[in-house]
Amino acid sequence: MSREEKGITRRMVVRFSEEGAAAPEEDSVAVEEPLEIRVSGDTVAITMRTPGQDRELAVGFLFSEGILRSVDDLGGVTYCGRPGEEGWGNVIEVTPAPGLVLEVERVSAARRGTLTTAACGVCGRRTVEDLMAVCTPVPPGLVLAPEVVAHATERLRDVQRNFASTGGVHAAAVLDASGELLAWAEDLGRHNAVDKAVGTLVLSGGVRASRASPSGTSPRPERPPGVLVVSGRASFEIVQKAAVAQIPVVASVSAASSLAIDLAERSGVTLATFVRGGRFNVYTHPTRLRRP
């Protein structure tokens, strides 16, 4: 089963128009199911998501929370239970590399008495500063041509297969400095889509936390991420996930919130909004966008 087919199911629908009701027919709709993320047997989060790329979602979520620093921290990522059992595929277990203890209290300490999220990076947070704590400023250096950002949402549309069938999912993609796709994902939740895309890069070694190698000896990926492009608006938590992954540019189809702009300014992220038809607005760090 392909990635897009796994996230789609069929339901009967009756379509109405000025002429009246049409005959019932099957329609494609996005699947919504819970995913429980466990670390060493402890439940860390439960999120409503579109099935598919669950390993990437779990890894991306733990990475954005500051629990994982790189693929080197991972021992395994597997589903709990057995195929055919009720609920199989909706609980995923992350185990650390031998000799490593993952600090799951980073999540429980930052959230208000609940382990449940709903594809939201801010929901349940005690303070905005809890989110800032896992953000390291993105250093200057990587320069992108404005055309890369201008056409970023076109690259996103190219991979929105589930959206084309259902109209009911968000998408996120990570591009390199030349605008080529590095990773992409679709999900009912914008934040899940970002976690899936970032998790893909974490698993491949293409993204590491800035604190992953204090000695500075971490190998630089051949094609470092340049742009995180998202459907919908750019919210605080989207910028936060980009900052943790050290992605220097966030490009959104729609608007940005005030907190997203403030965080982008503080974390060194270039924030571009209303990226459509070759035009866009930049709120922070516009000097990163120039011809290399």
Distance CA 106, CA 45 (A): 12
Q: List the structure tokens of 129.
A: 């500063």
Distance CA 124, CA 46 (A): 13
Measured CA angle at 150 (ends 148, 154), to 5 deg: 90
Distance CA 96, CA 5 (A): 31
Catalytic residue from among 80, 120, 123, 135: 120
Catalytic, 80? Answer no
- Name the residues annotated as catalytic: 120
